[in-house]
């Protein structure tokens, strides 16, 4: 019994070693080029923390869309305000995709369409920047 069990373990371990040496998950993520879809929302009621929380809750639903590799939701950071810093917005959402097709699928996905339908009354303006990693 011992020998096959150990052999199996060694084979499995060798597989892990190969993965670790040749392509750790972090290195794979870092090396794959992404499409970044960055959205800034200006709230209709910028003073309403409830509206802001509601929009953030809505944005979190987008995480379930299959082509979303990473979703990073933010608010204005307390960094030093140089003149070039735009801090007039209320909520940001950075979504990473593996490719243009993933971003296109996201745009027409039922979860995304439901998000726009259910939460767009909260914002007065949206600006989108879509970038392709070089």
Contact set with its own copies (CB under 8 A) = 6, 9-10, 12-14, 16-17, 20, 24-26, 29-30, 34-38, 40, 56, 70, 72-80, 82, 84-87, 89, 92, 94, 100, 103-104, 107, 126-134
CB of 83 to its own copies, least distance (A): 9
Q: For its own copies, give the closer residue by CB, 104 or 113.
A: 104
Q: For its own copies, give the closer residue by CB, 38 or 48.
A: 38
Q: For its own copies, give the closer residue by CB, 21 or 47.
A: 21
Q: What is the dihedral sign for C-alpha 108, 110, 115, 117?
A: positive
Contacts of 133 (CB under 8 A, 6+ apart): 33, 34, 35, 36
CB of 104 to its own copies, least distance (A): 7
Nearest to 103 by CA among 78, 66, 73: 66
Q: For its own copies, give the closer residue by CB, 113 or 127.
A: 127
130 C-beta neighbours (distance < 10 Å), count: 13
Contacts of 102 (CB under 8 A, 6+ apart): 35, 67, 68, 69
Q: Record the tokens describing residue 14, joined without a space.
A: 């060798």
CB of 95 to its own copies, least distance (A): 11
CB of 37 to its own copies, least distance (A): 7
């Amino acid at each position: 019994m011992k020998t096959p069990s150990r052999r199996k373990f060694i084979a499995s371990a060798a597989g892990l070693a190969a993965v670790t040496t040749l392509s750790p998950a972090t290195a794979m993520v870092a090396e794959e080029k992404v499409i970044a879809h960055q959205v800034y929302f200006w709230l209709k009621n910028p003073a309403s923390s409830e509206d802001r929380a509601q929009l953030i809750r809505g944005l979190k639903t987008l995480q379930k869309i299959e082509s979303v590799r990473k979703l990073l939701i933010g608010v204005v950071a307390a960094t030093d305000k140089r003149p070039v810093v735009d801090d007039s917005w209320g909520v940001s959402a950075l979504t990473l995709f593996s490719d243009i097709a993933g971003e296109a699928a996201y745009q027409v996905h039922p979860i995304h369409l439901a998000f726009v339908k259910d939460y767009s009354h909260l914002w007065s303006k949206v600006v989108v920047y879509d970038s392709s990693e070089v």
